[in-house]
Homo-oligomer: A and B are copies of this chain.
Amino acid sequence: MRENKSERIRIKDIALKAGVSVGTVDRVIHGRSGVSESSKKKVEEILKQMNYQPNMYASALASNKKYNFSCLLPLHTQEDYWMDIEAGMRHAVGMYKDFNIRLNISYYDQYESGSFAKEGKKMIATMPDGVIMAPSSEDETMSTVLQLKEKNIPFVFIDSNIRSLNPLSFYGQSSHSSGYFAARILSLMAEHNEPVVIFRLIYDGRLGSNQQRNREEGFREYIQNNCPDIKLYELNFYVKNPENNDKIMEDFFLAHPEVNCGITFNSKAYIIGEYMQKINRKGFKMMGYDLLRRNVKCLKEGTVDFIIAQQPTEQGQSCIECLFEHLILKKEIKAYNYMPITLISKENIDFYLDAHLRTNNI
C-alpha cells in the first residue's frame, strides 16, 4: 500500500520546542506585535527547522480581510463567449465565499478608440486588490497597465495576451496553434483537396479581432505546409451591415458552386449554418469557434460540423483562482497558461457541456 499523508505540524509542538507559549507562536506566525525579539527569533528558527507551512486557509479566515477584485471585459451580449467567462469567475468567487472576495465587472467598447483607457481609469479609482482584463490593442491597454504597475496592483490577462505588458499571469488559447489544428481537421473534411472558403468578419476595413487574424495565420501555415493544393477563398461579412450577409453568400455560391467546405475564425459560424438551413442546402461542411447557443443549435442540427472551444468558463475561473492564490495564499504564479484546443461535434458536445455545468455547479 502506498500512502499519502498530510499531517499538520501543530503550534503546540512548536511552542514546546521553542520554550514559549502557544499564544506567542501564534503571534509570530501571523505577524502580530507583543512578542520579544528573542522569543520571535527562537520561534522563527524552530519554524524553519520544522519546515513549517502555515495553514494559509486558517490565516486568511482569521484575518477577516476583504478583497476587491475588478475585471474589465469587452461589451457583449447575453448570449456570448464572454458570458461563460463571467460565469467561471462568479463560480470561483462563490467557491471562495468564506474569504470575503468581491468582484466588480466593468465593460469597454472594443470598437471605440479610448474606451479601454477610460474604463480602466474608473476601475483603478476604486483601488482594487487585483485586476483581470481582456486586453485591447497594446496601445489602448498600455496606459491602464502603467497605472496598475505604479499602484502595485497585480493584473491578469484573459482571452488574449500582450507579453510585453508583463501581466502577473495569462489565461487563454494560443490562437495561432488553434488555427493550425483547425486546418488539420478541415483538411480531412475537404476530400480530394476540394476548395475551402474562409468567412471573415470585418470592422472598419480590417479583421474585427486579433484572435481572428492569428487563427487565420495558423490555418494558412498548416495548409501551406501540408496540403498546398487546397484552394482558399475569402468571403467578408461586415460587422456594421449584417443585413447584407445573406446576399453576400448567395452571390458567392452562385459564382462558386464547387465550394462545399468552409471555416470561420470568429464566433459566428451560425451565420453560415442558419443560412444553409434557410436555403435548405445539405452537406455543406462547416467549422467554427466557440459554443454560443446559436452555434450549438447548428451543430446539433448538422449545419455546422465542428466547433473549436476555448474553455471560457475555465479561463474565468482560473483568473480568480490565480488572484486568490497570489494575494491570499501567497503562492507562486505561472506566467502563461494556455487553454486546451478542444474539438466539439454533435457526438461529444453533451459531455463537454456536462463537464461545464459541473464546473458551474448547476
Which residues on A are within 8 Å of B, measured CB to CB?
Answer: 1-8, 53, 55-58, 61, 89-90, 93-94, 96-106, 173-174, 177-178, 180-181, 184-185, 188-189, 191-192, 222, 334, 337-343, 345, 347-348, 350-352, 354-355, 358
Residues of B within 8 A of A2 (CB): 104-105
Selected contact of A93 from candidates B6, B53, B101, B188, CB within 8 Å: B6
- Contact B6 A100, beta carbon cutoff 8 Å: yes
Given contacts A55-B98, A106-B1, contact A174 B351 (CB under 8 A): yes
For A53, what are the chain B residues with a Cβ–Cβ distance below 8 Å? Answer: 97
Give, as a whole number of angstroms, the nearest-CB distance from A100 to chain B: 7
Smallest CB separation, A128 vs chain B (Å):
12
Chain B residues lying within 8 Å of A8, measured Cβ to Cβ, are 97-98, 100
A218 to chain B: closest residue by CB = B347
A351-B345 contact, Cβ under 8 Å, with A3-B104, A191-B191: no
In the complex, the answer to whether B102 meets A5 with C-beta atoms within 8 Å is: yes
Residue in B6, B57, B192 whose CB lies within 8 Å of A102? B6
Is the pair B345, A342 in contact by a Cβ cutoff of 8 Å? Answer: no
B contact residues around A352 at 8 Å (CB)? 340-341
Q: Which residues of B contact A102 (CB under 8 A)?
A: 3-6
Residues of B within 8 A of A354 (CB): 337-338, 340
Closest 3 CB pairs of A and B: A6-B97, A341-B348, A181-B347
Contact B345 A7 (CB under 8 A): no
B339 touches A181 (CB 8 A): no
CA distance A352 to B189 in the complex (A): 23
- From residue A180, how far is it (CB to closest CB) to chain B in Å? 5
Add 15 more A-B contacts to A4-B93, A178-B348 (CB < 8 A).
Answer: A2-B104, A3-B102, A4-B102, A6-B93, A6-B101, A8-B100, A58-B61, A61-B61, A174-B351, A180-B347, A185-B188, A337-B354, A338-B351, A339-B355, A343-B343
Q: How many copies does the complex hold?
A: 2
CA gap between A45 and B181 in the complex, in Å: 58
Closest to A61 in B: B58
CB-CB nearest in chain B for A186: B188
Bound state CA distance, A105 and B90, in angstroms? 35
From B3, B89, B188, B345, A181 is in contact (CB under 8 Å) with B345
CA A160 – CA B261 in complex, angstroms? 38
Residue of B nearest to A58 (CB): B61
Contact: B338 with A340, CB < 8 Å? no
* A103 contact from B4, B174, B191, Cβ within 8 A: B4
Residues of B within 8 A of A222 (CB): 347
Q: Please state if B58 and A104 are interface contacts (CB–CB under 8 Å).
A: no
CB distance from A184 to the nearest CB of B (A): 5
Q: How far does the alpha carbon of A345 sit from the alpha carbon of B183 in the complex, in Å?
A: 12
Q: How far is the CB of A75 from chain B (nearest CB, A)?
A: 12
19 contacts between A and B (CB under 8 A): A2-B105, A3-B103, A3-B104, A4-B89, A4-B105, A6-B96, A6-B97, A174-B351, A177-B347, A177-B350, A181-B347, A181-B348, A184-B347, A188-B189, A337-B355, A339-B355, A340-B342, A342-B343, A343-B343
In the complex formed, the residue of B with least CB distance to A181 is B347
With both beta carbons as reference points, the residue of chain B lying nearest to A5 in the complex is identified as B102
- Closest CB-CB distance, A139 to chain B, in whole Å? 25
How many Å lie between the Cα of A73 and that of B340 in the bound state?
Answer: 28
